[in-house]
Amino acid sequence: MMNLNSASAAEGVNAGSYQSSRRSVESSTKDQFEMFLRMLTTQIKNQDPLNPMENTEFAVQLATFSGVEQQVQTNLLLSQLLSDTYGGGLGQYSNWIGREVRTNSPVWFDGASLSLAMDNITNAEGATLVTLNGQGREVQRQILGAVPGEMQWSGRHADGTSLPAGFYSFRIEEQNSDGIYVARDVEAYSRVTGVELTANGPELVLKGGGSARIDQVSALRE
């Protein structure tokens, strides 16, 4: 299992290489544009006042100027898009696809057991695992015994019947040292199927069509 700080550091090397190449391309394109502008300005300044540039010729020069300007802007916009995609956004997380992330975001259940991270449980024998459905309603309570750092949640009731397929999230209710019951989220593992660029930055697409922001992920594994 990989912690996210190590993953980000490794991926940052590739992002830095891309950014360097992008800046080189942008600089070259801008230099060509400025050279064309200087040449056109010089030509207009030094034209023979008794035989000025024909209107049609001047129109052609302006059209060429406009075309070059648009090309520069297009290249800059494409560079920005590629930067967002490969330098600091989607591409940075593309190798997460097919791997599992640990998240507190709701995860998809289709009958197969889900892995829950229980490594922070301080009093497992006095704790209760609460399951919430996609609407945030409680659908199951399970009193825990001694559990390892990770447990398999089957989605089944005591009578053997299974919860329907859908999105579920989890929390633990346990007594603290003062005997007061406290609740906190339990993270579950889900497989990444894609990455999307949203208004809030990159967002992972999870199994079943779920989603999780990067700040909702604490671990990554195969």
Write down the pTM of the prediction: 0.61
176-181 long-range Cβ contacts below 8 angstroms, 24+ apart: 176/122
Q: How far apart are CA 127 and CA 181, in angstroms?
A: 9
How many whole angstroms from its chain centre is CA 183? 28
Question: What was the pLDDT predicted at 34?
Answer: 76
Check if the beta carbon of residue 195 is closer than 8 Å to that of residue 71. no
Question: What was the pLDDT predicted at 180?
Answer: 73
Q: Maximum Cα–Cα distance for the chain, whole Å? A: 102
Angle at 116 between CA 102 and CA 144, to 5 degrees: 155
Q: pLDDT 10s digit of each residue in the chain, 222 long?
A: 666 655 554 444 444 544 554 566 556 656 766 777 787 778 777 777 777 666 666 667 666 766 766 776 776 666 665 555 545 566 778 889 999 999 999 999 999 999 999 876 665 556 889 999 999 999 999 888 766 678 899 999 989 999 999 999 999 888 766 767 788 899 999 999 999 888 877 899 999 999 999 999 999 998
